[in-house]
Structure 1
Amino acid sequence: MTLSIYILRRKESNPKRGGREREGRSEKLSREETMRLLTHNMLSCNIKGVTNGFPLRLEAEKWVEKEVELNADFLRGIFPKIEYKALVGAAKSIGLDDLLPDDADPSMVASDDFLRRFHHALLEIHVEEGALVCPETGRRFPINKGIPNMLLHEDEV
Structure 2
Amino acid sequence: MVKVLTVNFLTCAAKGCTSSPKAYPLHFQDAELILQEMDFNPVFIANILPRVEWPALLTTTTELGNSANVPQQKPEDVDPERDEEMLKALHEVLLETQVMSGKLVCGNCGHVYEVRDGIPNMLLNEHEIPTSA
- TM-score scaled by structure 1? 0.74
Q: Does 1:137 align with 2:129?
A: no
Q: Are 1:91 and 1:99, in contact at CA under 8 Å, matched by a contact in 2?
A: no
> Structure 2: how far apart are the matches of 1:124 and 1:114?
15
Once the two structures are superposed, residues 5-62 of structure 1 have per-residue CA deviations (whole angstroms, 9 ceiling, x without a partner) of xxxxxxxxxxxxxxxxxxxxxxxxxxxxx11001111111011221222111122431
Q: State the alpha-carbon separation in 2 of the partners of residues 96 and 122 from structure 1.
A: 10
Unpaired stretches in structure 2, ≥5 consecutive residues: none
More strand by share: 1
Cα deviation for residue 96 of structure 1 reads 1.5
CA distance in 2, matches of 1:48, 1:97: 31
Residue in structure 1 matched with residue 5 of structure 2 by the alignment: 38
CA-to-aligned-CA distance 1:94-114 (integer Å, 9 cap, x gap): 211312121123224551121
Partner of 1:93: 63
Matched with 2:16 is: 49
- Deviations 1:59-86, CA, capped at 9 Å, x for gaps: 2431100111111111111111111221
The separation in 2 between residues aligned to 1:60 and 1:40, in whole angstroms, is: 15
TM-score, with length taken from structure 2:
0.86
Relative to structure 1, the CA distance from residue 73 to residue 60 in structure 2 (aligned partners, 3 Å threshold; closer, same or farther) is farther
Which aligned pairs between 1:9-24 and structure 2 lie closer than 5 A? Answer: none
Over the matched positions of the two proteins, sequence identity in percent amounts to 31
Larger Rg computed on CA atoms: 1
Give the aligned partner of residue 8 of structure 1.
Answer: none
Number of aligned residue pairs? 124
Which one scores higher on RCO, CA 8 angstroms, separation ≥ 6?
2
1:117-132 superposed matches below 5 A: 117-132=89-104
Q: Quote the Cα distance in structure 2 between the aligned partners of 1:146 and 1:96.
A: 18
- Once structures 1 and 2 are overlaid, which stretch shifts more, 142-151 or 103-112? 103-112
**4+ long deviations beyond 4 Å:** none
Match of 1:68 in 2: 38
Change (3 A) 1:104 1:114: same
Secondary structure, in 3 states, of the residue corresponding to 1:42?
coil
